[in-house]
């Protein structure tokens, strides 16, 4: 009987300890973030479908254009896809179908039979390709419109008629009133605060990324992604010619952790040249050091039409955040 009592007491103690452990675990567990639905982000289905295709195209850049067009067309034909997602797929298809040729590498169109070939496009020294209009080297701006037409010979003067008697002199006109001073030229438009006159244009990604449960209070974070074509001064140290800078900002988050536990990557493919690659975005001490977390990378993409996707995780001082992929298109001169 005493042995039975000891067994029952031991079992009761073990069950009580297990219940305490389970209760303690539930009491201190973080609430699971709510899933993101297509109603909250109607373009998300296209992003989730096309981001892996861009990564696949980067592994086979020779077939990148046809691969992207086929995937985008197939998705756009899906009757169940949201309209925003279809529009995004159509935008990808259009961008891939007609890659932009870099200005610095363009040559003139093929000449008609019997005419000499046109000279290649040469950019003068000191001119950034694709950013300003310019004359070919060696052309005097004074003659930019071409030589003046030769003057036609003057015709022989006709014989003068007989002079008529001069009419009486008319009275002198009254002095004209003082003419109003010409209006002053309009002042140049003011530069927005925080922007320099030479601020480079940025090229936003097609759709924001979403970090599920990334905020300190457990809420979701929207992240903006953009590309800056070089040469430019931002983000520091600035992309050079033929480079693309990527900037990813997780809105509403705290500062980035010193050590990123898992990477946030950008995979890109140059549809013009067939070049491709992958790079890891990292915290930039010169941009939002106290938050929101901002990650950057400068990549040697070369000039041309660049299709990119950013995906992965971000480590803030509060959270480890998984971000949905996003895709973007950019033109580098």
Look at residue 329 and give its three-state secondary structure: strand
Give buried/exposed letters for 315-330 (b at 16+ CB in 10 A, else e). bbebbebbbbbbbbbb
Mean per-residue pLDDT for 127-149? 47
Q: What sections of the chain are H helices per DSSP?
A: 2-28, 44-59, 64-76, 83-97
Q: Which pLDDT does position 84 carry in this prediction?
A: 86
Mean per-residue pLDDT for 150-168? 57
Show Cβ contacts of residue 129 under 8 Å, excluding neighbours closer than 6 positions: 102, 103, 104, 123, 241, 303, 333
Higher pLDDT pick, 197 / 309: 309
DSSP 245: E
Is the pLDDT at 204 greater than 90? The verdict is: yes
Q: Which pLDDT does position 253 carry in this prediction?
A: 95
Using pLDDT thresholds of 50, 70 and 90, give the confidence band for residue 143. Answer: very low
Mean per-residue pLDDT for 105-117? 39
Residue 123, classified by CB atoms within 10 Å of its CB into exposed (0-12), middle (13-18) or buried (19+), is middle
Mean per-residue pLDDT for 121-143? 49
Q: What is the mean pLDDT of the chain?
A: 74
Domain boundaries, the chain: 44-97, 203-332
Is the pLDDT at 102 greater than 90? The verdict is: no
Q: Which pLDDT does position 53 carry in this prediction?
A: 93
pLDDT in tens, 67-99: 999 999 999 999 888 888 899 899 999 999 988
What class is the 203-332 domain?
mainly beta
Using pLDDT thresholds of 50, 70 and 90, give the confidence band for residue 326. Answer: very high
Using pLDDT thresholds of 50, 70 and 90, give the confidence band for residue 332. Answer: very high
What distance lies between CA 139 and its chain's CA centroid? 35
Mean per-residue pLDDT for 213-220? 88
Question: How many whole angstroms separate alpha carbon 216 and alpha carbon 211?
Answer: 12
Say which range, 118-122, 225-229, 317-321, has the weakest mean pLDDT: 118-122
**Cβ 261 vs Cβ 273: under 8 Å:** no
Question: How many whole angstroms separate alpha carbon 331 and alpha carbon 276?
Answer: 14
CA nearest to 103, candidates 229, 226, 194: 229
Is the pLDDT at 241 greater than 90? The verdict is: yes
């Amino acid at each position: 009987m005493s042995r039975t009592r000891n067994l029952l007491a031991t079992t009761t103690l073990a069950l009580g300890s297990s219940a305490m452990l389970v209760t303690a675990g539930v009491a201190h567990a973080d609430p699971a973030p709510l899933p993101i639905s297509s109603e909250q982000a109607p373009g998300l289905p296209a992003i989730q479908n096309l981001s892996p295709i861009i990564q696949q195209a980067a592994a086979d850049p020779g077939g990148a254009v046809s691969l992207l067009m086929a995937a985008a067309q197939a998705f756009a034909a899906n009757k169940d896809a949201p309209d925003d997602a279809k529009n995004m797929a159509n935008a990808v298809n259009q961008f891939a179908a007609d890659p932009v040729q870099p200005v610095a590498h363009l040559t003139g169109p093929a000449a008609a039979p019997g005419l000499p070939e046109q000279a290649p496009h040469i950019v003068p020294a000191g001119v950034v390709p694709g950013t300003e209009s310019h004359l070919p080297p060696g052309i005097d701006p004074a003659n930019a419109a071409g030589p003046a037409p030769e003057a036609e010979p003057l015709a022989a003067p006709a014989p003068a008629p007989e002079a008529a008697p001069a009419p009486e002199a008319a009275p002198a006109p009254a002095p004209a009133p003082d003419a109003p001073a010409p209006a002053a030229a309009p002042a140049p438009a003011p530069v927005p605060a925080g922007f320099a006159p030479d601020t480079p244009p940025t090229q936003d990604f097609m759709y924001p990324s979403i970090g599920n449960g990334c905020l300190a209070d457990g809420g979701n974070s929207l992240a903006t992604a953009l590309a800056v074509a070089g040469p430019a001064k931002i983000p520091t140290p600035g992309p050079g010619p033929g480079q693309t800078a990527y900037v990813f900002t997780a809105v509403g988050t705290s500062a980035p952790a010193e050590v990123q536990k898992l990477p946030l990557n950008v995979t890109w493919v140059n549809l013009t040249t067939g070049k491709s690659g992958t790079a890891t975005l990292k915290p930039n001490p010169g941009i939002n050091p106290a938050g929101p977390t901002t990650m950057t990378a400068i990549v040697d993409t070369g000039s041309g039409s660049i299709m990119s996707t950013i995906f992965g995780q971000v480590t803030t001082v509060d959270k480890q955040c998984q971000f949905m992929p996003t895709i973007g298109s950019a033109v580098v001169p």
